[in-house]
Structure 1
């Protein structure tokens, strides 16, 4: 994410020798977002403030603290199991570490109440271990690719027929890989689960509140169910927050959401004095032991954007130097944490899960390199990308109900008010937001219409990005996934697609359609109006394609219509392709052509895919910029962009943020809307104030 900078030199003369640079200086503390002092404190980094959140400092334990007294206990339980290549058997070892005087541990594995195996194992050196073989196991898949069976693994200790302690953990059996192969585009970066390549459309998860104990189990379930409902298959637990609550990972296991888990370092250059490294070692070890049984976790990454900070400040880094002790003598000693210490702990505690030094990271190349590793792309999504987009986004306002909650004075209820600006922590947001609007839309003084335009900007930007990057998944896996900000920590303008009160913004629905199991895409060639001084292009190329995550081919029909934005009439013959055979788990190019724009009549291209007459997906492409389109309200909606129904608490919409063209009926179901309730309000582009 974009950042502001604060920095000061490291402190502690007694620590200088072990980490001094060539000039015998202490390495600088550098923090982008928040005060630089945060880098020396192992607590949630976002509490110092971020470009989407306020400075709200907390202190003290936020999770329960209790005193246990015991004769003996199961201190840890874990399984190191691996599926063979053909997925027909799981082999490995189950371990239990015990404290206290006890001779035996009883292990058991059950599935849906049925005992799969049970073993009594002698304790030696405070540990009991048993090798196991499981034939034809039931496999855990991400949602949309299969089911999520969870085995129950237990370890029990007893004496004189009295149970002293019993620990139970739920595990899913799956074979997960990070695929990095040299190919025609550079080096791939995508995930494969149980032999199936998975396009990881999903989100970056920040803590859902500045005060974490306020996030209830019910709220966690609503957030995560929202991901599944929106077709999101991966969430990245971002490195400036916390290792999340157990319920978070339990729900990801249950719902089939893949988890990319950052270690808790973000946007900074961290110190490496011995006591700090000891703290990091203990923190990483404890959290790996706590989380290693979760089948949903398929990746650990060392940090968020720390290597971008290194680049921005020109800190020393020689990728070819493989001596960790020498890294401690540079002015970027934090490399020791990300490329030596954390990988070492991963190898000891969780050897079967991939580790990546940071996000973004490109193995010795600049972090902006699009040919290898993952990338954070905050520029022109339509023309730029990478092998895996770990972050991207576009700012917009929250819903009017949310705004009215934090704007108390009517005199402050306008977009440029002090209160509005205070609730946007992004650097330069006033200029950026104004530029987005002026370049694309006719601006308005009506607050709700203004909010609608900012949300439409986000919706269109993310749609363009996702439409393109999922297309590039294709048959050669040029782009392995893309993640954006899902949620907010407070009431604010931000990059999130769902606001603090769990109110979905239009982009949520737009992305959901892009991530559908089968989705059609259409796009015309981009024409840069600002360069051509508002002169239209004579001809523009267009193309239509189908993307699918289905592991089998299917046959469908495709229809493409050319419709006048002004009249709603078709101005060219409809193109129909019947019996199109799609590629499995990839992209199928359907047709392409040229639009003659010399008549000056704005055309919307409307494509849909159907099987046996049932529409599976639709997409539209509109002439841009939208500000040049007619704003005449003809009393009925003929064609329009971004028809957005009100998000009302307690009402669940099946779809929203629709593009409307004549002859294409779309039905939106509203669950929870009472018969006597007031009808949902709506807004659409070019609607009069």
Structure 2
């Protein structure tokens, strides 16, 4: 059995050439170490980002000393394992060179025994500046490669964009929602592992065929032996056990064992069933002694991307255990510009927030990092499917052999690291590169091609195809063939001609729709531009006031202040928010009200999109908005800000992603349609209750309809003529309330207005609140004498309400609970809120 010595303590660092060493934290990075030593100001505050661009131009040294016992040195092998070095790093042990690393996304294992000695040892790592390292590569290439989001100007490099040359998190170089902090450092664990005889390096449970009746599996064990060995392989999975004789030869090898599990407990995504998992333990034994052992936890499930031709084109849907899943969720970016600052609680809060919001999928987007083991373990636990990009986004990349070899090694390591996670639903090559370059259509794409000669274009496309059409798919086929690969998102199909590239009229593949926002198109376009799988679309908002005040002073609180502009990375983003707000919402009375209105604006946009996609179920089989989270406090497309505070969009998503959804479509000029959508496996029956109300709560008309809906279905269940409903009534003074109830319990309800919020004739409501703090949990029951739109609850304590940003109708009280944010235990448990402020839109308008 192995002995492990963790090497994450007693580190120090300095700028190369300096004499003064400072204490360092490992895992970490140079920016966070400088901050902890009071050598730099808070990176996220004010305009400090631009003052810290000198850091990435320097080399940095890290060093630790540790003791080795004589006993440890007696082991046959002692290996130094470095899980993550960011990025260009020269590692030496006791003054002797041991490793030159050049890929942030790779782990490294090297033989350290020849350089170790009993007693004190010194491990030294010099991180070479990624900027100084890669500028010569740009010069050697002779022409720039497209890298749209590389903020080289912020980094004082002008037009010299070098992010594409390093295998390093692309977002470190800036993005249109994130700052430019090009880090260096030891970002994952380091350890010494000493062993003799046999070491089990990997255990993979390959899922050959999974049904409700039988799971056919192959357990693949990677072993290394220092001498020939014979014994027994014992495999256990919970209360099941298999055993067979094995013979190992000196060196590295794989051992395979085919097994069958009858009536397996299947892993399901949230909303469809249990997240059942098995712990598989493989042990090499001689007699009663375990010589080496390794365990993995996984769930048994079949997952495939189904792309079958139909009358429209070709579908794009995930099938889990034979069941067609409508994917509901969001795109995930790294939770921090300094990734080692993300705690277990922050990860759990995000994943639990997704589940609380009725999501079943997150897309790990390709401009960030391959996430931590914990992230995927939480997705396994909570039942979130993961669309996993490789770390390439919005850029063209070099194709020299060293770069391709590094990509191949990175892909193989990441596939092997993640392949046991049942949450993993798809491997995707990159974000938006196929559609941006649009190789087969001269008039399509982002305009990159026009800057290059025909020879340069072919060279760049050859490099692209080497990575995304050859290296990555072959690695997946070899190492994780039971999960599908999609070369680029979005993509129409891999046809090798002009049809390949995704467009807004594509009837195959996945779609990123950005006409709303970037092109200032109206929200109603979300009802018209619908693809087979909507893997990106979004709308911005500011964070709430207390988040804004974490990076700004009161004097900065206006749209064109330098701080507000520095915390808006999307060019004209602040003005776009203002322009859309003028179109759809009443005028806010001050800047704090503007922040609130931006939440409402974003939420209404995302509700429009999500429900339009869900109403087209089976033509469209997925909706993943951009984006779930933030890496710093900023105005962005996130539904949950940097501090994990839910914006209005997160509450809206929770309602619009409900497994049973009532959706009202009023986009047709003369007709109002009521839709009922179910993502559940079983049929359901209930009552649809419809009321036309004025704003005082007076019922003007009512309808009741008994409905039976089959499992996994979407139907238009009622239609009205707009003229029939209004009957010469003022459309700005009435609303339609739709509620679906089962056994007297309302499953979902929706309110439909006949005009925009800007045109509503709203009386000033009188709100009444009944509060209870019994049993250490705050609940609030809200009532009103007239329509109160966009009720906003703000608690003294950090946390989330069971509902927020909702409309309150006379005669329909609403009770909400408070979930305090806790660094320990399960999230979203009711607790005390402290003081609570309750407002409606009437409090925010002029």
Shift of 1:15: 8.4
Flag the 1:60–1:385 CA change in 2: closer, same or farther, 3 A. same
Flag the 1:207–1:188 CA change in 2: closer, same or farther, 3 A. same
Residue in structure 2 matched with residue 498 of structure 1 by the alignment? 640
Query: 1:192-271 alignment to 2 at 5 Å?
Result: 192-271=319-398
Flag the 1:205–1:647 CA change in 2: closer, same or farther, 3 A. farther
CA distance in 2, matches of 1:282, 1:405: 41
Residue in structure 2 matched with residue 618 of structure 1 by the alignment? 749
Residue in structure 1 matched with residue 469 of structure 2 by the alignment? 339
Unaligned runs of 5+ in 2: 1-133, 153-160, 438-444, 451-455, 494-498, 516-524, 768-783, 821-829
Q: Is the 8 A contact 2:172 2:337 kept in 1?
A: yes
> Which one of 557, 574, 596 corresponds to residue 413 of structure 1?
557
Secondary structure class of the residue paired with 1:669: strand
CA distance in 1, matches of 2:269, 2:530: 25
CA distance in 1, matches of 2:275, 2:833: 40
Residue in structure 2 matched with residue 87 of structure 1 by the alignment? 212
Residue in structure 1 matched with residue 502 of structure 2 by the alignment? 367
Deviations 1:5-39 (A, max 9, x none): xxxx99769987xxxxxxxxx67411010143100
Residue in structure 1 matched with residue 293 of structure 2 by the alignment? 166
Shift of 1:646: 1.4
Residue in structure 1 matched with residue 223 of structure 2 by the alignment? 98
Shift of 1:632: 4.1
* Greater alpha carbon shift after TM alignment, 39-48 vs 61-70: 61-70
Residue in structure 2 matched with residue 641 of structure 1 by the alignment? 789
CA distance in 1, matches of 2:209, 2:608: 38
Flag the 1:272–1:293 CA change in 2: closer, same or farther, 3 A. same
Deviations 1:436-455 (A, max 9, x none): 11111122242332111100
Q: Is the 8 A contact 1:121 1:130 kept in 2?
A: no
Residue in structure 1 matched with residue 446 of structure 2 by the alignment? 312
Shift of 1:315: 3.9
Shift of 1:583: 2.5
> Which one of 394, 399, 404 corresponds to residue 544 of structure 2?
399
Residue in structure 2 matched with residue 518 of structure 1 by the alignment? 660
Alignment of 1:657 with 2:832, yes or no, is: no
Residue in structure 2 matched with residue 148 of structure 1 by the alignment? 275
Residue in structure 2 matched with residue 78 of structure 1 by the alignment? 204
Shift of 1:680: 3.4
CA distance in 2, matches of 1:175, 1:225: 24
Alignment of 1:541 with 2:671, yes or no, is: yes
CA distance in 2, matches of 1:272, 1:202: 34
Deviations 1:531-578 (A, max 9, x none): xxxxxxxxx31010111112222211011111224x44333x21211x
Residue in structure 1 matched with residue 46 of structure 2 by the alignment? none
Shift of 1:628: 1.8
Residue in structure 1 matched with residue 403 of structure 2 by the alignment? 276
Alignment of 1:443 with 2:587, yes or no, is: yes
CA distance in 1, matches of 2:833, 2:656: 34
Alignment of 1:32 with 2:189, yes or no, is: no
Shift of 1:484: 2.9
Shift of 1:682: 2.9
CA distance in 2, matches of 1:676, 1:488: 25
Shift of 1:148: 1.3
CA distance in 2, matches of 1:588, 1:569: 29
CA distance in 1, matches of 2:374, 2:408: 24
Shift of 1:233: 0.2
Shift of 1:286: 0.6
Deviations 1:380-415 (A, max 9, x none): 3232121001111110011112112111x2211234
Residue in structure 1 matched with residue 71 of structure 2 by the alignment? none
Q: Which has the higher contact order (CA 8 A, sep 6+)?
A: 1
Residue in structure 2 matched with residue 461 of structure 1 by the alignment? 605
Flag the 1:42–1:97 CA change in 2: closer, same or farther, 3 A. same
Q: How many residues align?
A: 644
Alignment of 1:684 with 2:841, yes or no, is: yes
* TM-score, length-scaled by structure 2: 0.72
Deviations 1:488-539 (A, max 9, x none): 0000111110011111111111111111121111121356xxxxxxxxxxxx
Residue in structure 2 matched with residue 20 of structure 1 by the alignment? none
* TM-score, length-scaled by structure 1: 0.88
Alignment of 1:590 with 2:734, yes or no, is: no
Shift of 1:433: 1.2
CA distance in 1, matches of 2:672, 2:352: 36
Shift of 1:477: 3.7
Shift of 1:313: 3.0
Q: Is the 8 A contact 1:328 1:336 kept in 2?
A: no
Residue in structure 2 matched with residue 535 of structure 1 by the alignment? none
* Greater alpha carbon shift after TM alignment, 491-500 vs 439-448: 439-448
Flag the 1:254–1:493 CA change in 2: closer, same or farther, 3 A. same
Flag the 1:108–1:306 CA change in 2: closer, same or farther, 3 A. farther
> Which one of 549, 556, 576 corresponds to residue 704 of structure 2?
576
Q: Is the 8 A contact 2:796 2:834 kept in 1?
A: no
Flag the 1:330–1:502 CA change in 2: closer, same or farther, 3 A. closer
Residue in structure 1 matched with residue 261 of structure 2 by the alignment? 134
Residue in structure 2 matched with residue 319 of structure 1 by the alignment? none
Deviations 1:612-654 (A, max 9, x none): 2211100111133221223542545412332121155444411
Flag the 1:315–1:106 CA change in 2: closer, same or farther, 3 A. farther
Flag the 1:309–1:104 CA change in 2: closer, same or farther, 3 A. farther
Flag the 1:327–1:132 CA change in 2: closer, same or farther, 3 A. farther
* Greater alpha carbon shift after TM alignment, 39-48 vs 120-129: 120-129
**Higher Cα radius of gyration:** 2
Q: Is the 8 A contact 2:492 2:509 kept in 1?
A: yes
Flag the 1:301–1:560 CA change in 2: closer, same or farther, 3 A. same
Secondary structure class of the residue paired with 1:334: helix
Alignment of 1:115 with 2:272, yes or no, is: no
Flag the 1:405–1:11 CA change in 2: closer, same or farther, 3 A. closer
CA distance in 2, matches of 1:123, 1:328: 48
CA distance in 1, matches of 2:356, 2:287: 50
